[in-house]
């Protein structure tokens, strides 16, 4: 999930200044290195001589610091403008508050709005296959929908990834379906895995998890943690494609523990919200 700490924000804000300073310092250091301590002008002034000698001795460390600063600035710039991320987060928070039907005092992670980004992941599923049984043929390097920004302040460490493929039959989740069809997809009234009746019945939970996986195109191994942690996965889901400069950039996923929490209105009434997110992402 995208987060911006103080150092990142400082580097992003001052990256132009830091780059200019780094170039100026490296030029100055080069000039100092070319000086000879035996020169008459330098020998006469002990402080000047000591300073030049110290700077010459520390040249390696100064250059190293300059290179590290420039690399850090480059990568911070690459991760995008924190201001844009903050605005998208704010919009997702508002979207979550207004679009999902929920009861009073329910935890925020029961109703979420998440922006997923298409990202190439190296060996992600391969690692999973080492520990779990995978029925699908999984490429070592593949495209995944990865959570980028999520509403609220909890459930921010999600590692859920949905595989997307050139073949629509291989894509995972409601988000994957929205990616393939380039349409908004809604799946509501899903059956829960845990019910008061099956509290101690693991077999029933497994069967229900299989049904849930089929209904949402979700791989079964993703539901293992819900069985282990005695929690229910989202019971209503909507996925809306987001375009940036005409191309699909990612998917906004609305999910709720309420079977009727996400409805047609959740998509229909908030088209402008999706459009604004798309336009903000152009400047990320």
CB of 91 to another protein, least distance (A): 14
CB of 190 to another protein, least distance (A): 11
Nearer to another protein, 62 or 254 (CB): 254
Minimum separation from the CB atom of position 276 to another protein (A): 9
Q: Nearest approach, Cβ of 214 to another protein (angstroms)?
A: 6
Residue 199 or 282 having the CB closest to another protein: 282
Tokens representing 11 are: 């580097």
- Rounded (5°) CA angle 23-27-32: 145
Report the candidate in 159, 85, 158, 172 with the shortest Cα–Cα distance to residue 124: 159
Least distance in angstroms from the C-beta of 265 to another protein: 10
CB count in 10 Å sphere of residue 108: 16
> Where do contacts with another protein occur on this chain (CB under 8 A)?
169, 174, 177, 181-188, 214-215, 217, 240-241, 243, 245-247, 264, 267-268, 271-272, 274-275, 278-279, 282
Q: Is-contact 190 215, C-beta < 8 A?
A: yes
Locus of tokens 């420039």: 70
- Between strands 162-164 and 247-256, the pairing is unpaired
- Closest to another protein by CB, 224 vs 283, is 283
DSSP-assigned letter for residue 105: T
For another protein, the closer of residues 62 and 235 by Cβ is 235
| Integer Cα distance of 178 and 253 in angstroms | 10
Q: Which two tokens stand for residue 135?
A: 């029925």
Residue whose CB is less far from another protein, 182 or 197: 182
Nearer to another protein, 152 or 261 (CB): 261
Contacts 24+ apart (CB under 8 A), 32-41: 32/56, 32/59, 33/59
Q: How far is the CB of 278 from another protein (least distance, A)?
A: 6
CB half-sphere exposure, 92, CA atoms < 13 A: 28
> How far is it, in rounded angstroms, from Cα 250 to Cα 217?
18
**Closest CB to another protein among residues 92, 274:** 274
- Least separation in angstroms between CB 185 and another protein: 5
């Amino acid at each position: 999930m995208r987060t911006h700490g103080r150092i990142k924000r400082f580097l992003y804000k001052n990256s132009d200044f830091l780059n200019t300073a780094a170039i100026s310092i490296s030029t100055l250091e080069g000039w100092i290195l070319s000086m000879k301590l035996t020169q008459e002008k330098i020998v006469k002034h002990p402080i000047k001589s000591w300073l030049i000698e110290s700077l010459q001795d520390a040249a390696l460390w100064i250059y190293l610091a300059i290179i590290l600063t420039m690399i850090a600035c480059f990568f911070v710039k690459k991760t995008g403008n924190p201001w844009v991320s903050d605005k998208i987060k704010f919009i997702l928070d508002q979207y979550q508050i207004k679009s999902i039907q929920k009861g009073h005092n329910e935890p925020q992670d029961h109703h979420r709005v998440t922006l997923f980004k298409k990202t190439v992941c190296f060996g992600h599923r391969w690692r999973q296959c080492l520990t779990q049984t995978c029925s699908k043929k999984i490429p070592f390097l593949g495209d995944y929908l990865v959570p980028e920004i999520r509403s609220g302040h909890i459930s921010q460490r999600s590692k859920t990834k949905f595989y997307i493929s050139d073949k629509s039959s291989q894509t995972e989740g409601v988000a994957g379906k929205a990616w393939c069809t380039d349409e908004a997809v809604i799946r509501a009234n899903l059956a829960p895995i845990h019910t008061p009746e099956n509290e101690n019945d693991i077999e029933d939970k497994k069967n229900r998890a299989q049904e849930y996986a089929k209904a949402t195109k979700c791989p079964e191994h993703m539901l293992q943690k819900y069985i282990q942690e005695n929690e229910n996965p989202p019971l209503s889901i909507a996925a809306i494609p987001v375009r940036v400069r005409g191309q699909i950039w990612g998917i906004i996923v609305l999910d709720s523990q309420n079977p009727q929490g996400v409805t047609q209105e959740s998509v229909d009434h908030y088209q402008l919200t999706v459009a604004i997110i798309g336009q903000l992402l152009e400047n990320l």
